[in-house]
Structure 1
Amino acid sequence: MKKLISGLVFAFAISTGIAQNLSVSIEDIDVKEGYFFIAVFDSQEAFDKKETPHKKRINASEIHKPIIFKGLPKGKYAVSVFYDTNNNKQLDLKASGIPNEPFGLSNNPGLGKPRFEKISFPFEKDQHLVIKMRTTKPAN
């Protein structure tokens, strides 16, 4: 009986569009070692605090496969990615606040402190994003 109820709840979620999948592909980086951190945020506050239940740590050898976030509710989201060059599990920043490690954001914005509104996108159904990684050149 529990399996029947679980199956009905899952079927209802799919039919009403409650649970969608977001797939993310990463471009413009070729590394074989280390880790990438990918996070999906639903607000400016969550983005600023770097708090979200939707995050993954991906081995660099797997980065050329789409990363799938299953069961996201409809809404507005932003995605951030960084390649952790020194394995400290955080995005290192220069004194100016510019990332010191390769990074990428949804909507592939220019440099500058990103605002959620600029990097967010409506999420109504299964969707695929392509994020281009960027690096910043060291100051001379």
Structure 2
Amino acid sequence: MMKTVLICVMLALGKLVLAQETTTITIEVENIANDKGQLILGMYTEDDFLKTKPYYSQQVKINDGKATVVFKDVPVGEYGISCFHDVNGNQKMDFEPSGMPAEDYGVSNNPMLYGPPRWDDAKFQLTKENNTISIRF
């Protein structure tokens, strides 16, 4: 009997540990120069920030210089967002010969950028209450 109770308790605790709290996040991007092309947005964890594929990504149309992206069932935690205006639709950020970006971009927290975005500037804590991020180009 005691063995059965212990097994039931362990299974219940295991489910609690595996159950992760999730939320919906809305990212509003504004001040986009024009409606040509699309907005490409990636949401990253610290380990993959601007290095590999984003944890979540989406491509959306731009309307009146604005775009909105919604991700559902996102585990609460620490993330950073990077996005760019893919004017020519080639699915990648273009650069000038000097190495400067040829397409507008932005990151979460809207830091003043003097070089590539850094994790410490872009990171934010996603909680159940913190579910809207605004990015301004």
Shared fold (TM-score, shorter chain, > 0.5): yes
TM range (shorter): 0.7 to 0.9
**Are the structure 2 counterparts of residues 66 and 103 from structure 1 closer, same or farther at C-alpha, using a change threshold of 3 Å?**
same
5+ long unaligned stretches in structure 2: 1-15
Distance 1:63 1:53 in 2: 25
Secondary structure at the residue paired with 1:33? Answer: coil
Q: Select which of 122, 127, 137 maps to 1:124.
A: 127
Distance 1:38 1:103 in 2: 10
The residue aligned with 1:98 is 100
The residue aligned with 2:78 is 76
Secondary structure at the residue paired with 2:50? Answer: helix
RMSD across aligned positions (CA): 2.5
5+ long unaligned stretches in structure 1: 1-12, 134-140
Q: Select which of 6, 28, 42 maps to 1:25.
A: 28
Q: Select which of 111, 116, 123 maps to 1:113.
A: 116
Task: Indicate the percent of aligned positions where both proteins have the same amino acid.
Answer: 27
User: Which structure would you say has the larger Rg?
Assistant: 2
**Are the structure 2 counterparts of residues 65 and 84 from structure 1 closer, same or farther at C-alpha, using a change threshold of 3 Å?**
closer
Paired residues in the alignment total: 119
Q: Select which of 59, 62, 67 maps to 1:60.
A: 62
User: TM-score, normalised to structure 1's length?
Assistant: 0.73
